[in-house]
């Protein structure tokens, strides 16, 4: 790397840097990048979680805090992440050269991604299992009388009259047997008290049987719920009862990993082509499902129920917190993924325009998915003649119980079930292979020899991934899945995003970074973006972190109560990704030049020579880093109300 220091009074604090960046492959077309981002942003949460959260928190009124949070926190931070990656051309492993103190975030993000990679693929595994059963007629999950069903199973698609007749026949048989035996006992020799004792005993048995028959009618489980619990999961009694591996899940898991491996086998060259199918097909299939659902009775009632605004809910602070948390996790900031994906973009790509296109398209899909889901649930509620609130579920309960139940009651149920689960497979596949690609890139950046033998190294990593995912295929796998899902992303992404905003806005300098962005796209960062990075976004993130810590509940799965040791393990899981950040920060400060702690700390936040444009043809004026001026002056500079003298 060559440094040419310029002379002159005006530019005495600058030096021209002509970098020799390691050549990094680029997206073949801009559409490759956009579809990859869109496919990643639109996942299971948009279809399974957002509609339920929106309905529960005021319907259409929920969109007000949701959109406000989107524009005041998420979009500015999203732009910050993609700008870091595109300007430097580096993944989240090495992008922190603008502030060495926070470079431990690269390790922390990878520590968070690896377990996420192994448990998230279970959603695809379960969906593939359901996809297999769509070829059975009638749909396997819609009937009782299978080997996994309990005596309390009931089915909306079955003949309810026959079930009631069976119960009545059972009760009649029990009564007849009781009276016959009583008459037999009465004809035998013996005193009256013995005969009365026999009568009381048999009547007690009959009453007990009557209670059991009543429980079947009033306390039963739907066929869809029993299929999910006892067939797909083969669920155990709790987390401490691991049980055996479920062979059908292991087979689907291996198949899912093979599909993911094929998608990432050649890095972005393969993923950039796969997304033309996986990112667009869900929209086509969901549109077909929505058009069909709207022809069914009760579907419009479901949509009205979904979007009907309850403006009184806006007075509840919990609704605003739910909106902020949902949109934060929906756009997936704080995971480092957008940094790495943007590092493959051309240096002059208009990432500001892409920011608005991608985030609005991704969150718009959440609302669209809500129409698809609630139109079907409205039909199901109409058919069952029950309030819609009784059939609405969130998460896997919606995708694997409530919606399959609605599909089973539609005309041509196999067709619509197949279309739905194909859409779900493509939704999950986009997110899964994007996480996989980013995780593999980190290892390849650490060990360059893996890049030279990419197909082999990625095959080995995928096989390790299969092994690490096997615990989720056991009978206690769903309890383990819920534990990881509950704790892994509870705290760390918020912490990482807060550090990103603070380090760029206050340690590197929001105005200085705005100058770097101008080199890329020909314009500086909008003023309100800098205001959000410096003040509003950190404030919202801090509130969310505190709220998460104070009001965080223990994980739940149905009526199962997790043991205390599981909660302790979950807390450890949630803070483990943060540990490398703190350890490496201490290491950086300790080995920084300087005689006093302040001198060491000051040097540890100074940008290194590696912070430079990804384009070698761009002449970069590397500004000397000095935190001069009062606190008030620095605030005014970050607000754009005062010009920073050393920025051109």
Q: Which residues are annotated as a binding site for Na(+)?
A: 39, 42, 46, 330, 427, 430-431
Which residues are CB-neighbours of 312 under 8 A, at least 6 positions away?
A: 58
How far, in Å, are 143, 382, 401, 536 from residue 153 at the CA level? 9, 21, 14, 52
| SS3 of residue 623 by DSSP | strand
In angstroms, rounded to a whole number, what is the distance separating the alpha carbons of residues 522 and 50?
Answer: 37
Are 240 and 233 a contacting pair, CB within 8 Å? no
Measured distance CA(493)–CA(474) in Å, rounded:
28
Could you tell me the maximum CA-CA distance found in the chain, to the nearest angstrom?
126
Rounded Cα distance between 286 and 267, Å, is 28
Burial code of 528-541, b = ≥16 C-beta within 10 A, e = fewer?
Answer: ebbbbbbeebbebb
CB 102 within 8 A of CB 96: yes
Binding-site annotation, residues? 39, 42, 46, 330, 427, 430-431
Sequence-separated contacts (24+) of 633-642 with Cβ below 8 Å: 634/506, 635/534, 637/509, 637/510, 637/511, 638/505, 638/506, 638/509, 638/510, 638/511, 638/530, 638/531, 638/533, 638/534, 639/527, 639/530, 639/531, 639/534, 640/511, 640/527, 640/530
The separation between the first and the last C-alpha atoms of the chain, rounded to the nearest angstrom, is: 23
Q: Distance (Å, rounded) from C-alpha 117 to C-alpha 468?
A: 10
Contact call for residues 150 and 226 (beta carbons, < 8 A): yes
| Contact between residue 62 and residue 323 where contact means Cβ atoms under 8 Å apart | yes
Q: Residues 92, 442: contact at Cβ < 8 Å?
A: yes
User: Is 340 in contact with 110 (CB distance < 8 Å)?
Assistant: no
Q: Are strands 620-623 and 14-18 parallel, antiparallel or unpaired?
A: antiparallel
CB 91 within 8 A of CB 343: yes
For residue 479, how many C-alpha atoms fall within 13 Å in the half-sphere facing its CB?
20
247-264 vs 413-446: helix crossing angle, rounded to 10: 60
- 3-state SS assignment for residue 200: helix
440: its two tokens: 């593999």
Helix, strand, coil shares of the chain as percentages rounded to 5? Answer: 70, 5, 25
* Joined tokens for residue 113: 């991604």
Spatial distance between the Cα atoms of 209 and 193, rounded to a whole number of angstroms: 25
Q: How far, in Å, CA of 200 to CA of 64, rounded?
A: 65
């Amino acid at each position: 790397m060559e440094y040419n220091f310029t002379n002159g009074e005006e530019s005495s604090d600058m030096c021209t840097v002509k970098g020799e960046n390691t050549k990094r492959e680029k997206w073949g077309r801009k559409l490759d990048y956009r579809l990859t981002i869109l496919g990643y942003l639109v996942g299971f949460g948009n279809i399974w979680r957002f509609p339920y959260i929106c309905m529960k928190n005021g319907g259409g009124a929920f969109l007000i805090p949701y959109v406000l949070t989107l524009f005041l926190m998420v979009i500015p931070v999203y732009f910050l992440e993609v700008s870091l990656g595109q300007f430097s051309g580096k993944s989240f492993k090495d992008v922190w050269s603008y502030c060495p103190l926070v470079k431990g975030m690269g390790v922390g993000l990878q520590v968070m991604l690896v377990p996420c990679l192994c448990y998230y693929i279970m959603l695809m595994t379960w969906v593939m299992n359901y996809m297999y059963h769509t070829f059975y007629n009638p749909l396997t999950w819609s009937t009782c009388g299978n080997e996994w069903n309990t005596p309390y199973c009931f089915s909306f698609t079955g003949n309810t009259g026959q079930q009631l007749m069976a119960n009545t026949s059972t009760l009649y048989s029990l009564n007849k047997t009781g009276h016959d035996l009583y008459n037999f006992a009465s004809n035998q020799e013996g005193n009256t008290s013995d005969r009365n004792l026999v009568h009381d005993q048999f009547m007690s048995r009959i009453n007990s049987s009557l209670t059991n028959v009543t429980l079947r009618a009033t306390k039963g489980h739907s066929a869809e719920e029993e299929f999910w619990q006892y067939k797909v999961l083969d669920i155990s009694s709790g987390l401490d009862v691991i049980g055996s591996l479920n062979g059908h899940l292991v087979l689907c898991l291996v198949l899912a990993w093979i599909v993911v491996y094929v998608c990432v086998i050649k890095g972005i060259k393969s993923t950039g082509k796969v997304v033309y199918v996986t990112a667009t097909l869900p929209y086509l299939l969901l549109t077909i499902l929505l058009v069909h659902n709207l022809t069914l009775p009760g579907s419009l009632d479901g949509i009205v129920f979904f979007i009907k605004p309850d403006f009184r809910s806006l007075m509840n602070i919990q609704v605003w917190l739910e909106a902020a948390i949902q949109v934060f996790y929906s756009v997936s900031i704080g995971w480092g993924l957008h940094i790495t994906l943007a590092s493959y973009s051309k240096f002059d790509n208009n990432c500001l325009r892409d920011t608005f296109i991608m985030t609005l398209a991704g969150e718009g899909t959440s609302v669209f998915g809500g129409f698809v889901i609630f139109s079907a649930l409205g039909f199901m509620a109409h058919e069952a003649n029950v309030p819609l609130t009784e059939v609405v579920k969130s998460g896997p309960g919606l995708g694997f119980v409530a919606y399959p139940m609605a599909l089973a009651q539609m005309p041509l149920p196999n067709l619509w079930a197949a279309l739905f689960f194909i859409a779900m497979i493509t939704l999950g596949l986009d997110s899964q292979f994007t996480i996989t690609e980013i995780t593999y890139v980190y290892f390849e950046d650490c060990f360059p020899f893996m890049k030279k033998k990419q197909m082999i190294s990625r095959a080995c990593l995928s096989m390790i991934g299969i092994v690490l995912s096997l615990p989720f295929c056991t009978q206690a796998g769903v309890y383990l899945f819920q534990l990881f899902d509950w704790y892994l992303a509870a705290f760390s992404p918020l912490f990482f995003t807060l550090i990103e905003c603070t380090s760029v806005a206050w340690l590197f300098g929001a105005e200085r970074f705005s100058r770097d962005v101008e080199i890329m796209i020909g314009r500086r960062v909008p003023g309100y973006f800098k205001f959000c990075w410096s003040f509003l976004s950190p404030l919202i993130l801090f509130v969310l972190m505190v709220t998460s810590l104070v009001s965080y509940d223990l994980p739940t799965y149905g009526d199962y109560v997790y043991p205390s040791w599981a909660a302790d393990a979950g807390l450890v899981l949630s803070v483990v990704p943060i540990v490398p950040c703190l350890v490496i920060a201490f290491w950086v400060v300790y080995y920084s030049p300087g005689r006093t702690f302040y001198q060491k700390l000051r040097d540890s936040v100074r940008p290194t020579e590696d912070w430079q444009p990804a384009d070698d043809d761009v002449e970069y004026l590397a500004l000397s880093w000095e935190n001069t001026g009062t606190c008030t002056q620095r605030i005014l500079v970050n607000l754009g109300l005062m010009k920073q003298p050393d920025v051109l």
